[in-house]
Amino acid sequence: MAGTKKGGLQAAKTNKERYGKDFYEKIGRIGGRKGTTGGFAANPELAKAAGRKGGRASAQKRKKR
């Protein structure tokens, strides 16, 4: 029953039985700690430069038409 809603619910039930009711909370916490998020939020100058490049490329495509 893989790939169906019913199969997903069954898998969730099995995971909770095997690993505890807080299984999904635990794996979410681990993933959150491992995350090295930052990207544009952490570096506004990088966002500014990327936006400038994207805008320039977009404007050039419009000119060619």
pLDDT at 3: 87
pLDDT at 64 over 70: no
pLDDT at 65 over 80: no
Residues 1 and 19 in one domain: yes
Residues 30 and 2 in one domain: yes
User: Are the C-beta atoms of 9 and 16 separated by less than 8 Å?
Assistant: no
Residues 30 and 44 in one domain: no
Residues 24 and 51 in one domain: no
Residues 1 and 28 in one domain: yes
**pLDDT digit string, tens, across residues 19-62:** 999 999 999 988 877 777 666 777 888 889 999 998 888 766 66
Residues 30 and 10 in one domain: yes
pLDDT at 62: 67
Q: How far apart are CA 28 and CA 22, in angstroms?
A: 10
Range of the domain at 47: 40-65
Residues 30 and 54 in one domain: no
pTM: 0.48
pLDDT at 41: 72
- Specify the number of domains making up the chain: 2
